[in-house]
Amino acid sequence: MSCMCEQKHDVDAPIRAHVPIGAGAYALTLSAPALAARVQPGQFVEVGLNQPDLVLRRPFSVFDTDGETLTILYQALGRGTTRLTAFRPGTVLRVAGPLGRGWPASDPGARVLLVGGGIGAAPLHMLAVRLSGVDGTQVTLIQAARTAEALAGCDRLADAVDTVHYATDDGTRGHQGLVTEPVAAALEAGEYDVAYVCGPEPMMQAVSALTVAAGIQTWVSMERLMACGVGACLSCVLPTRSGQVRVCVDGPVFDAQEVDWDAARSSRVH
Amino acid sequence: MPHAPHASTDLSIEMFGRQLVSPLTVASGTFAAGREYAEFTDITRLGAVTTKGVSLTPWAGNTGKRIHETASGLLNSIGLQNPGVETFCEKDLGWLADHAPDLPVIVNVSGHTIDDYVGVIERLEREPAVFAYELNISCPNVDAGGMVFGTDCTAAAGVVAAARAATKRPLIVKLSPNVTDVTAIARAVADAGADAVSLINTLLGTAIDPLTGRFVFDRRVAGLSGPAIKPVALRMVWQCAQVLDIPIIGMGGVTGGCDVVEFLRAGATMVALGTVNFGDPGAVGRILTELDELCARIGVTHVADLIGTAA
Ligand SMILES: Cc1cc2nc3c(=O)[nH]c(=O)nc-3n(C[C@H](O)[C@H](O)[C@H](O)COP(=O)(O)OP(=O)(O)OC[C@H]3O[C@@H](n4cnc5c(N)ncnc54)[C@H](O)[C@@H]3O)c2cc1C
Ligand SMILES: Cc1cc2nc3c(=O)[nH]c(=O)nc-3n(C[C@H](O)[C@H](O)[C@H](O)COP(=O)(O)O)c2cc1C
Ligand code: FES
């Protein structure tokens, strides 16, 4: 439910910094004090790219904030993000947010498992920073990507946690192979109270199957194609145990046990 | 050079005997019932709000992907997902009554059968807030009903006559562009008792993944909206204006004040904003400002003076 305390804004946000972070990904910092003051870990923004032929904005999770700026990490993939890479500091983008419901807080002193896949790890950073300030909370991160280079963009995420394990497809850093293997090993070796998982949908489904089976409260951040991003158009619906919900306002974060993973398959982005 | 200051234009227009604050409304399905956009723009500056399609019982909508961005356009296959008229009255009309009690509400009505349409209207007759009904006989995203009614003159006239018998309130009929001659359907629904027509609904299109060869949408086809369809929409509004003497609500690809003026000049009395809301959640306020400035430049003091002035 929206209320005045989570007021959304649509603002002109000048680009403050825009740097490549390797493997086709970029860190984009936007000046947006009204949004930065309110954004919670796991929330996202809708970024207008000033391209008349692209009628939709693009949704991105907030990676970091200093209370005045917002930083997003994005992968250059399609028409919009490819063009975005050329935008220089000073360019003004239209940005709406903060949007959606982010990661629910864990109890103080909780043993927390973060699992990130590729650029999907971005929304975990604000959460990790938040958790690192809570006394007694122990945070373990398992971060997977295609290559070591693709992991590098998220070094700041690793800095914010207590323990890190890596997995890469090509074995250039950490475990070679699927992220489920180090996750299974971590569950064998230690006890966890809560898991926060973000990455490609098949990865989230596989990881949450393990953590849920281990009795761990598991939160996942879902992606769907979004036209409005504010709950009006029903383009982003996700089938759950309690019916169809809108990822943009009811999520993007959901209890993994609520998601109807099989029914969700037909509307996956990838 | 800055524009000379001007006494702002009178943006009000008359529709169905009621004075509305502006000629703008929103295109059904792009704005829910206004609540989600009220945080970004002053929805009470709309002449009327047009709601998402409402059916008698809850509809689940379509499976699979529901949108696909195209060059200057958007394909959608939402499939009229909605919780049914009862929940609509409670939640959406309830919210509007609390937050925008003076905003006229146009309810977009969907159905699979004539009885469905009539049933929705009968339920809504008990709701004093409803200003007008917009019969959606042109949705390309459902099988039974929808566009089936809107592409055949006899079928279209049948739904309109049944709806006409169920209400004295203004009845708007939303037309499909997926026909050879839009004026034939327009005439048929006017003769059957429509008080206005709105057009255009989305154009039938499709998209295929070039690598996998799979259709993007589970239903294969979807509805195209956005700037890509504006010239077609404008042409159809103008054609209908030539043959009808009831008002027209024009829509299709409006993104700014200039587009609104074009639709008014083509013969529309009101103009709806659809896909533009997605790229600009503050579109309603921005476009009204642009419209006001444009009227000053043109030299009209009353926006209604623009209606049908294309020469
Ligand atoms: C809540 C949320 C948070 C996200 N956070 C991030 C992030 O932090 N970093 C990041 O790199 N990416 C993130 N994404 C994915 C990102 O939105 C897409 O990669 C991006 O929109 C692609 O745009 P494009 O113009 O390059 O692609 P195009 O293929 O040209 O896009 C066409 C349309 O499809 C949509 N689209 C394409 N891929 C995706 C996708 N994976 N998810 C949703 N919509 C998509 C676009 O928004 C656009 O509407 C997030 C998506 C969602 C829903
Ligand atoms: C996501 C989406 C949902 C829509 N839902 C409806 C609907 O429920 N009923 C209806 O009559 N038209 C619906 N339409 C069609 C619009 O109301 C409008 O006729 C069309 O999009 C053209 O206007 P535009 O180009 O400004 O969007 C929908 C369009 C979109 C993009
Ligand atoms: S993107 Fe429009 S409802 Fe979620």
What are A183-228's pLDDT values in tens digits? 999 999 999 999 999 999 999 999 999 999 999 999 999 999 999 9
Contacts of A226 in chain B (CB under 8 A): 67
Q: How far is the CA of B284 from the centre of ligand 1 (A)?
A: 26
Q: ipTM > 0.90?
A: yes
Which of B194, B305, B295, B179 has the alpha carbon at shortest distance from B244?
B194
B155 Cβ neighbours under 8 A, 6+ residues apart: B148, B149
C-alpha pair distances (Å), B282 with each of A68, A160, A218, B248, B258: 23, 37, 36, 25, 17
Q: Which ligand is nearest to the CA of A56?
A: 1
* CB B225 less than 6 A from any atom of ligand 2: yes
The secondary structure of residue B39, as a DSSP letter, is: T
Burial A46-81 (b: 16+ CB within 10 A, else e): bbbbeeeebbbbbbbbbbbbeeebbbbbbbeeeebb
Which one has a higher pLDDT value, A5 or B39? B39
Average pLDDT, chain A: 94
Residue A39 pLDDT level (bands cut at 50, 70, 90): very high
Q: Is the pTM of this model over 0.90?
A: yes
CA nearest B274: which of B137, B73, B131, B105?
B73
Look at residue B139 in the predicted model and tell me its pLDDT.
81
pLDDT at A1 over 60: no
Residues of A in contact with B36 (CB under 8 A): 228, 230-232, 249
Structural tokens at position A208: 């949450």
| B129/A167 Cα distance (integer angstroms) | 59
Mutation test of ligand 3: which of A8, A55, A226, A250 has the most ligand atoms closer than 8 Å to its C-beta? A226
Answer yes or no: are the C-beta atoms of B68 and B311 closer than 8 Å.
Answer: no
Average pLDDT for runs of 10 along chain B of length 311: 63 98 98 97 97 97 97 97 97 97 97 95 97 92 74 93 98 96 97 98 97 96 98 98 98 98 98 98 98 97 98 96
Closest CA to A16 of A65, A50, A51: A65
Range B13-306 classified under CATH 1.10.10.10? no
pLDDT of B2: 47
pLDDT attached to residue A3: 43
Helix (H) or strand (E) holding B95: helix B94-99
Quickly count: other Cβ atoms within 10 Å of residue B231's Cβ: 12
CB contact set of A28 (below 8 Å; sequence gap of 6+): A15, A17, A18, A71, A72, A73, A74, A84
Q: Are B283 and B41 in contact (CB under 8 A)?
A: yes
pLDDT at site B115: 95
* Second-level CATH architecture of A9-99: Beta Barrel (2.40)
Residue B115, number of CB atoms within 10 A of its CB: 11
Ligand that comes closest to the CA of residue B176: 2
Distance in angstroms (rounded) separating the CA atoms of residues B310 and B237: 12
Q: Tell me which residue in A56, A230, A234 faces B279 most closely, judged by beta carbons.
A: A56
**Cis amide linkage into residue B200, ω under 30° from 0:** yes
Specify the 3-state DSSP secondary structure of B209: coil
For chain A, give every domain's residue range. 9-99, 103-221, 222-270
Under a CB-based contact definition with an 8 Å cutoff, are residues B267 and B238 in contact? Answer: yes
Pick the CATH number of A103-221 from 2.160.10.10, 3.40.50.80, 3.40.50.720, 3.30.465.10: 3.40.50.80
Closest B-chain CA to A95 = B280
CATH class of A222-270: mainly beta
User: Residue B130 corresponds to which amino acid?
Assistant: V
| pLDDT, greater one: A237 or B1 | A237
Would you call B258 a catalytic residue per the annotation?
Answer: no
Fill in the amino acid letter for B213: G
